[in-house]
Amino acid sequence: MGRFAEDQDPLFRRINSSVSFDWRLASFDIEQSKAHARALARLGVLDDDELQQISNGLDSVAAELDGSDFEFREDDEDIHMAIERRLTELIGPLGGKLHTARSRNDQVATDLALLVRAHSARAIALLEALMETLVAQADAHSDWPAPAYTHLQRAQPVYLGHHLLAYFWMFERDARRFFRAAEATTDMPAGSGALAGLNWDVDRDALAADLGFERPQPNSLDAVSNRDFALDYLSAAAICAMHLSRLGGEIVLWSTQEFGFVELPDSFASGSSIMPQKKNPDAAELLRGKAPRVAASFQSLLGTMHALPLAYSKDLQEDKEPLFDATDNLELCLAAATGMLGGIEFNRDRLAAAAEDELLAATDLADALVQHGVPFREAHGLVGGMVRSALDSGRSLSELTDSELDGVPDGARQAVRRALEAGQTIESKLSAGGTASSRVEEQLERAREALSALRP
């Protein structure tokens, strides 16, 4: 380095170097460099032969990287320098021309945008598989009664398919969020130089088209200091991971001896080092346990961006590891969730027994009274009294005698008793989006449409 009289301190080198993690940008960097070489050729900076040599050289570097033959050197500060260094070893001083009309600042921002776009697509594909599994399981269990809960207290019965579809819609929103994260990468940083633009009138529209961007980013300062697309990916990932934590948490709950609603496939469970009887829902627990880590990645990058002056600051090197950690963990969780859900077995009897709890019909009793002219609040109070009588005397609601139904208008008694008949409650939830069979069928149809809409 012409400007410096002293060598870098080893400690400085260690904190400054990013090659131990930014090698993950390698394929995107080579893709970008090849397109950049084509742009330089269009500018006349490279002739056809030079372009060919550089392009071939980059392919060789890519092959070395793919085959793990690439040798990193101690003074490879980052993957960009390492690739250029190797290119120059392979094709000679011509390699030095490649950095014409660009800076590491716009180069790294562009690599990262390409990576975010690729991982957004990957998340969508993994979500699609998970959603398909949910639709298949919902379809297969669309008429299995199951208890639904509020406050984790049994509230009303639903069909199991209805419950599973609730997760479908969460993941459908996640997929849309990842589409937006991908959209956040439509503006190309490349061609912004260090921060002020370039001395070369690179055809940025052509370069953008070449690399799959929609347009050049309109401001060079913003281009090199913007990491919003990574934050968009990370907030989508954090919310998606939270949904997975809810799914994982319910599977852990349902796998307990007390609930007993599901049996995990042996292939998605593990034993204990000490207790031979154990079958533990580790994968479900990890769906849960990993979610805060993904949220922390968002928080980490957002914190790093806090109050950062324009344009590029070295702090931005800290954009990568949180992002890579999030992509790794989210993708693993999505795939594991799909695998686990595909092999899960539900216990029809346990679910049905819990769903048949007569107390879950209490709202219907109140509604029956409303149909007979009792204002809802009053009806609610009357049924609350019946519940108390039943609980206090250890009987079910249908075992209460007529005389205990005080306050129930004579004409309504019949309706009250009918509301307690098996299956009544679940089928009476007939509003759109409700759990009545016809509505669940409708919903499955819409879920399939939503799935198709995700596919190009």
Q: Which of residues 353-372 bind a second copy (CB under 8 A)?
A: 354, 357, 359-360, 362-367, 370
Q: Comparing C-alpha atoms, which of 37, 117, 131, 119 is closest to residue 84?
A: 37
| Sole window of 22-30, 53-61, 116-124, 351-359 interacting with a second copy (rule: CB under 8 A) | 351-359
Residues 291-350 touching a second copy, rule: CB under 8 A, are 291-293, 295-318, 321-322, 325, 332-333, 335-336, 339-340, 343
Q: Please tell me the count of residues contacting a second copy according to CB under 8 A.
A: 199
What tokens does 279 get?
């079958």
Options 56, 256, 393, 396; binder of a second copy; rule CB under 8 A: 256
What Cα–Cα distance (Å) separates residue 67 from each residue in 30, 60, 98? 15, 10, 24
Element (H, E) at 64: helix 48-66
Options 27, 90, 139, 265; binder of a second copy; rule CB under 8 A: 265
Query: Based on C-alpha coordinates, what's the Rg of the chain?
Result: 30
**Is-contact 318 306, C-beta < 8 A?**
no
User: Which one, 20 or 52, has the nearer CB to a second copy?
Assistant: 20
Task: Check if 273 is active-site.
Answer: no
How many CA atoms lie within 13 Å of 222's alpha carbon, on the beta-carbon side? Answer: 8
Residues 106-145 touching a second copy, rule: CB under 8 A, are none
Using the CB atoms, write b or e for 277-316: b if 16+ within 10 Å. Answer: eeeebbbbbbbbebbeebbbbbebbeebbeeeeebbeeeb
Element (H, E) at 202: none
**Is-contact 123 391, C-beta < 8 A?**
no
User: Which one, 63 or 184, has the nearer CB to a second copy?
Assistant: 184
CA distance 191 to 107: 8
Smallest distance, a second copy to C-beta of residue 207, A: 10
Residue 340: Cβ within 10 Å count: 23
User: Which one, 55 or 443, has the nearer CB to a second copy?
Assistant: 443
User: Which one, 63 or 357, has the nearer CB to a second copy?
Assistant: 357
Burial classification of residue 241, based on how many CB atoms lie within 10 Å of its CB (0-12 exposed, 13-18 middle, 19 or more buried): buried
Q: Under the criterion CB under 8 A, does residue 235 sit at the interface with a second copy?
A: yes
| Sole window of 63-71, 123-131, 288-296, 410-418 interacting with a second copy (rule: CB under 8 A) | 288-296
Smallest distance, a second copy to C-beta of residue 348, A: 16
Residues 139-168 touching a second copy, rule: CB under 8 A, are 148-158, 162-163, 165-168
Smallest distance, a second copy to C-beta of residue 215, A: 9
Q: Which of 60, 103, 142, 151 is catalytic?
A: 151
Residue 441: Cβ within 10 Å count: 14
Residues 168-227 touching a second copy, rule: CB under 8 A, are 168-170, 173, 177, 180, 184, 191-202, 204-205, 216-226
Residue 272: Cβ within 10 Å count: 10
**Is-contact 119 327, C-beta < 8 A?**
yes
Task: Check if 255 is active-site.
Answer: no
Smallest distance, a second copy to C-beta of residue 62, A: 21
**Is-contact 110 188, C-beta < 8 A?**
yes
Q: Which of 20, 270, 272, 438 is catalytic?
A: 272
User: Which one, 26 or 247, has the nearer CB to a second copy?
Assistant: 247
Smallest distance, a second copy to C-beta of residue 233, A: 11
Residues 9-68 touching a second copy, rule: CB under 8 A, are 9, 11-12, 14-16, 45
Q: Under the criterion CB under 8 A, does residue 452 sit at the interface with a second copy?
A: no
Smallest distance, a second copy to C-beta of residue 273, A: 4
Residue 429: Cβ within 10 Å count: 21
| Sole window of 63-71, 116-124, 125-133, 378-386 interacting with a second copy (rule: CB under 8 A) | 378-386
CA distance 94 to 89: 10
Residues 73-92 touching a second copy, rule: CB under 8 A, are 77, 80-81, 84, 88
Residues 382-441 touching a second copy, rule: CB under 8 A, are 382-388, 391, 426, 428-436, 439
| Sole window of 23-31, 53-61, 64-72, 248-256 interacting with a second copy (rule: CB under 8 A) | 248-256
Q: Under the criterion CB under 8 A, does residue 288 sit at the interface with a second copy?
A: yes
DSSP labels, 385-414: HHHHHHHHHT--GGGS-GGGSTT--GGGHH
Catalytically active residues are: 151, 272
